[in-house]
Amino acid sequence: MAQRADNPLTGQAAEWLSRRQHGPLAPEDQRAFDAWLDASPHHAVAYARVEATWERTVRLQAAPMPETGRRSGAARRWLPLAAAATLLLAAGGALWLMLQPEVHRTGVGERRTVALSDGSRVELNTASILRVDYSDRGRDVRLQSGEALFHVAKDPQRPFVVHAGNAAVRAVGTVFNVRLRDREMVEVTVTEGVVAVDERQPAPRGEAMSAPPAPRTVEAGKGAMVGPGAVATVSLDSEALQQRTAWRRDLIELRGETLEQAVAEFNRYRTAPLVLGDPRIASIRVGGTFATGESEKFLAALSSGFGVESMEGADGKVYLMPAQQ
């Protein structure tokens, strides 16, 4: 029986159903069928749906049909087969939709809260993409870009794991923030409870995967930076915790960051980026609290207090330069 390319599970389930309807399976085939069912709860769901679809088709075939004229034997045989195919495709499409991960995203400057099916909540910061893939065995989510704060509902039987870059953050019931700093660095901040942080660096091509290091435990009031081959933990005071989660209040808090770092922070919320036009101003240290959507006030502060001018280019970017003497 051919499998549908866009839903292989439905095709596999239909093939097993067909084989079982032709009589008892041989012992080795029965073991293979049992192993297929046990491999994933999605397999059992696919088989149950295909079997239910077939049973409905059999009932449809047995129901009396009004005769509007003489039909050939071939036509009478074709009708139930066509109905079966239609129902199977419908069931397969429903199953395909059910098995697809949820995807939640925010645009530049947007912030939103998402309620998940297990009672957990996720707050997404600007320009973020989150994929949610729940099963009976676990709750896996992947932060593909941006930043998110997770309020995890307790369910010890189904671990909640956030994958971001090379990091995997595991929690049962807690609150923590995950930010993708760049392709190689992931920042984790725990505000309630405890999480376990793994660094999962893929093995070089052609080499065996070495034993991964033990997960690092990160408690409330602490953070972790996860990079290639390393997990570094740090204690955070109340001000540092507030700064890392200031985005939840639509704020950017600067506490002595360089101008280069501050510009990168504001650019997360801007469609027209700020650009350092002179490397001599990159190391200027700045401070203050600004609304994420009001970078104009930040530019005004730079002009009045640090001698840094801003000018908009023809490309829409805003260039920062030392003020002319």
Domain identity same for 293 and 259: yes
Of 94-108, 115-129, 309-323, the least confident: 94-108
- As for how many domains the chain has, the answer is 3
State pLDDT tens for residues 195-234.
Answer: 999 987 654 455 554 555 688 999 999 999 999 888 999 9
pLDDT at 39: 82
Does any domain span residue 69? no
Does any domain span residue 181? yes
Domain identity same for 34 and 122: no
Count Cβ atoms below 10 Å from residue 229 Cβ, excluding itself: 9
Domain identity same for 183 and 112: yes
Domain identity same for 109 and 217: yes
State pLDDT tens for residues 138-193.
Answer: 999 999 999 999 999 999 889 999 999 989 999 978 999 999 997 789 999 999 99
3-state secondary structure of 248: helix
Stated as kind and residue range, the H or E segment containing 102 is: strand 102-105
Domain identity same for 133 and 237: yes
Which range marks the domain in which residue 291 is found?
250-322
Domain identity same for 36 and 117: no
pLDDT at 97: 43
d(CA 109, CA 208): 43
pLDDT at 203: 47
Q: Is the pTM of this model over 0.85?
A: no
The residue out of 191, 221, 241 marking a domain boundary is 241
d(CA 308, CA 128): 31
d(CA 133, CA 199): 20
The residue out of 241, 261, 290 marking a domain boundary is 241
Domain identity same for 21 and 137: no
Domain identity same for 94 and 109: no
